[in-house]
Amino acid sequence: MRLEQKQFVPFMIGVAVITMLVIVFSSFNFERKQRTRFNENIATSDSLKTMPLRVLNSSDSTSIAEQQGNSTLLVFWASWSEKSTSMLDEIQKYTLENDSLIVLAGLVKDAEESLPEVPEYPGFTYLDGTHLFNHLKVPGFPSYILFDAESNIVTSQIGYEKGVGYDSLKVYIDE
């Protein structure tokens, strides 16, 4: 069957609209699958709490399990990401008001040398978070996992939007 000239443009518009809808649906579905896989990985990972995490600019390492007795926040971030910095600002605001939270800031997709000599967030422990980030298949950054005083997962967050650091921590920790 051959299209006439006057039918060609409406046909191509229809094809373009259908293609656009398929792409939008696929993108949302892919993002949802990534988030689901990440949540499954943190729920089922045997090594999440015990995996040694190298402290940057040091030969020491730590783990989530070593922080038992305190709420612990493991943050995956990159120094060049403005959203990462915004999330860390909110987390620092919370830690200045509440000293019971231990923050483990896992640097990912970044060079250790990119950190300043004097950390911008002095109460945070800076870690090489790349291995754990990849192990858990974290779909993006900034992201965090909040653990309670017994090292049980309380919640996780992927991405940044205003309030996700400070307000969410107040809700989950100050209950």
| pLDDT of the residue at 168 | 87
Tracing tokens 């049980």 back to the chain, one arrives at 152
Per-residue pLDDT of the chain (175 residues; tens, 9 = 90+): 677 888 888 888 888 999 998 888 877 777 778 778 887 888 888 788 889 999 988 889 999 999 988 899 999 998 888 999 899 999 999 999 888 899 999 998 776 666 666 567 888 999 998 888 888 888 888 999 999 999 899 998 888 888 888 888 888 887 6
Rounded (to 5) percent helix, strand, coil in the chain? 45, 20, 35
pTM greater than the 0.85 cutoff: no
Distance CA 86, CA 88 (A): 5
End-to-end Cα, the chain, rounded Å: 67
How many whole angstroms separate alpha carbon 161 and alpha carbon 168?
A: 11
